Amino acid sequence: MNIEIKAIRKSYGRKQVLRDITLSVTSGKCIGILGSNGSGKSTLLSILAGVQSSDGGEFLFDGRDLFKYEKQRALLVGYVPQGTPLIEELTAKDNLFLWYTREEMQKELDSGILKMLGIGDFLSTQVSKMSGGMKKRLAIGCAIAKRPPILILDEPMAALDIACKQSISEYIKRHKQEGGIVLISTHDLIEMELCDEQYIIKNGVLNRFDYKGNLDELVKSL
């Protein structure tokens, strides 16, 4: 299983945000995409997730362009956007019900991903009364319903505590071990350590960056 991103372009008015973004990822890899605020990281991820369209380019999954096969893309890609993709007035269980059948939910809560994320502990809690970490874990739990092989995470650990970050890290590691592919937009050093390859988007261009723990070098590159 592999994905290929070929020559993706995107402009907002006259401003070209993405210029011929090209990338190839094989099974079991996690790719980190870095960049300063407004550099185009989230735009690239939302294009791959099908939230917005590109001005050109391809998103190939085992040779098949997912931009042309919307239903397949929806099944193959799990997307965690920034923010809280949850209904605040309802409980965790209600929110999960939007993405899982009752049987699927029970199975995942008993021995699956939802158990690993610890969602069973706050199943009956209303979202508006949850902490940021609980909300993010629940959001990931919702996004990975049906176990999509490609995970696209837009700054998943932003403003979370260490315990919560660890829980999400564990899940990402397990997803890689199971042969899945992960694309992360990040500013977080813990997330960067999870990544097998790092890329930086600058002026709309994607370039490979090998992060070796030197923060000054990273800041200069952004």
Contacting positions for another protein (CB under 8 A): 12, 38, 42-43, 46, 49-52, 70-71, 74, 77, 79-87, 89-90, 94-95, 97-99, 132, 135-136, 139, 142-143, 155, 158-160
Nearest distance from C-beta of residue 31 to another protein, angstroms: 18
User: What would the two tokens of residue 150 be?
Assistant: 């490609």
Please return the burial class of 104, using the count of CB atoms within 10 Å of its CB with bins 0-12, 13-18 and 19+: middle
Nearer to another protein, 103 or 216 (CB): 103
Backbone phi, psi, residue 34, to 5°: -110, 170
Nearest distance from C-beta of residue 39 to another protein, angstroms: 11
User: What would the two tokens of residue 195 be?
Assistant: 């990544």
Nearer to another protein, 49 or 192 (CB): 49
Question: From the CB of residue 13, how many other CB atoms can be counted at a distance below 10 Å?
Answer: 6
Nearest distance from C-beta of residue 19 to another protein, angstroms: 17
Nearer to another protein, 52 or 177 (CB): 52
Nearer to another protein, 57 or 211 (CB): 57
Length of the chain: 222
Nearer to another protein, 29 or 135 (CB): 135
Report the distance separating Cα 61 and Cα 116, nearest Å.
28
DSSP string, 60-104: EETTEETTT-HHHHHHHEEEE-SS--S-TTSBHHHHHHTTS-HHH
Residue 5's DSSP bridge partners are 23, 59
Nearest distance from C-beta of residue 94 to another protein, angstroms: 6
Nearer to another protein, 87 or 189 (CB): 87
Nearest distance from C-beta of residue 95 to another protein, angstroms: 8
Query: How large is the C-alpha radius of gyration of the chain?
Result: 17
Nearest distance from C-beta of residue 214 to another protein, angstroms: 28
Q: Which residue has the tokens 């970490």?
A: 133
